[in-house]
Structure 1
């Protein structure tokens, strides 16, 4: 199988609230939009991937799905997201494995980890 592109599909309870969160609060850039009306689709850039917010669901979020977003500076992201009213689950912490991680939740409760790879972390170096 040769995969050409991929994206995570998200069916929020309230698409407008989720678009506000991903577009304004997180500041994700729009890749494309399709359809019309409140349930139209919006696809956001996620670094090397995409997040599509479209449709609607009344089903609670699953606890088995997480979004992992690498950022340049977790402290700066924490400050920016706090000012923007994001639901911060945990502020930035340096983990035992050397990455700096913080946790937030989207309006439906989907958990999102923001990760910073410090300059001296082995992930920055290729053998």
Structure 2
């Protein structure tokens, strides 16, 4: 049995500085820690209950199988803040058949990011 103490998602961007601007300035994720020096230095961001590490460099595009899922409190406010920061919305907010409101954006390398709001009437808000 694996006893997990912490976890993080690792991204190896094509252009690390461009990705740091996207995650740190445009999305406004708070920095947990930074390490190393130079263009491939690492930055670890708080990501709700986990962490996102942007470090190193990759010459290949990210796998389309990788997606980030970020839950927010208010989709309308989040959409407004992101577009004001220059983030392009790939898919406008939609209430899905399963009841969540989802909006899609992408990072500079094309990694898809699902922004999710759990509406007040959704079963996830009303656990027994």
Q: TM-score normalised by the shorter chain: which range applies? A: over 0.9
SS at match of 1:114: strand
Q: Following the alignment from structure 1 to structure 2, what is the Cα–Cα distance between the partners of residues 94 and 75?
A: 12
Q: Following the alignment from structure 1 to structure 2, what is the Cα–Cα distance between the partners of residues 97 and 6?
A: 27
- Residue equivalent to 1:89: 90
- Residue equivalent to 1:71: 72
Q: Following the alignment from structure 1 to structure 2, what is the Cα–Cα distance between the partners of residues 20 and 43?
A: 13
Q: Are positions 1:8 and 2:9 aligned together? A: yes
SS at match of 1:57: coil
Superposed displacement of residue 12, structure 1 = 0.1
Q: Following the alignment from structure 1 to structure 2, what is the Cα–Cα distance between the partners of residues 45 and 105?
A: 18
- Residue equivalent to 1:19: 20
Taking only aligned residues, the RMSD between alpha carbons, in angstroms, comes to: 0.7
Q: Following the alignment from structure 2 to structure 1, what is the Cα–Cα distance between the partners of residues 22 and 74?
A: 20
Give ranges in structure 1 of 5+ residues lacking alignment: none
Superposed displacement of residue 87, structure 1 = 2.3
Matched residues, number? 127
SS at match of 1:58: coil
State the TM-score, normalized to the length of structure 2: 0.97
Superposed displacement of residue 20, structure 1 = 0.3
Give ranges in structure 2 of 5+ residues lacking alignment: none
